[in-house]
């Protein structure tokens, strides 16, 4: 089944990045292990799409509106925006 394969690959992407939490409509994702992957995210405020580094050591802000979309939390990176794609 094509659909099943697609769903499974999306789910695998979340697992690779350490899990997904949905809080009040926003998608929060914690990266358990430092990853050298780039992640394409969408700003929850202005919908700007931006590619960020999965292993952020500083706050990452939206280039358009300045909203913080990822922040470091003791070795993990919390991504506070929608993940559109993980770039290998």
Interacting residue ranges for Zn ion, rule: CB under 5 A: 43, 45-46, 48, 62, 64-65, 67
Answer positive or negative: Cα dihedral of 86, 68, 59, 19: negative
Minimal distance, residue 67 CB to Zn ion, in Å:
5
- In this complex, which beta carbon is closest to Zn ion, that of residue 16 or of residue 48? 48
62 contact partners, CB below 8 Å, separation of at least 6:
43, 45, 46, 48, 50, 68, 69, 81
- In this complex, which beta carbon is closest to Zn ion, that of residue 13 or of residue 48? 48
Minimal distance, residue 52 CB to Zn ion, in Å:
12
């Amino acid at each position: 089944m094509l659909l099943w394969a697609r769903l499974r690959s999306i789910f695998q992407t979340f697992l690779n990045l350490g899990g997904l939490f949905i809080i009040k409509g926003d998608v929060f994702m914690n990266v358990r292990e430092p990853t050298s992957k780039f992640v394409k995210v969408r700003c929850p405020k202005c919908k700007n799409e931006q590619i960020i580094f999965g292993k952020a050591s500083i706050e990452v802000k939206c280039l358009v509106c300045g909203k913080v979309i990822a922040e470091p939390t003791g070795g993990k990176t919390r991504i506070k925006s929608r993940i559109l794609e993980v770039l290998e």
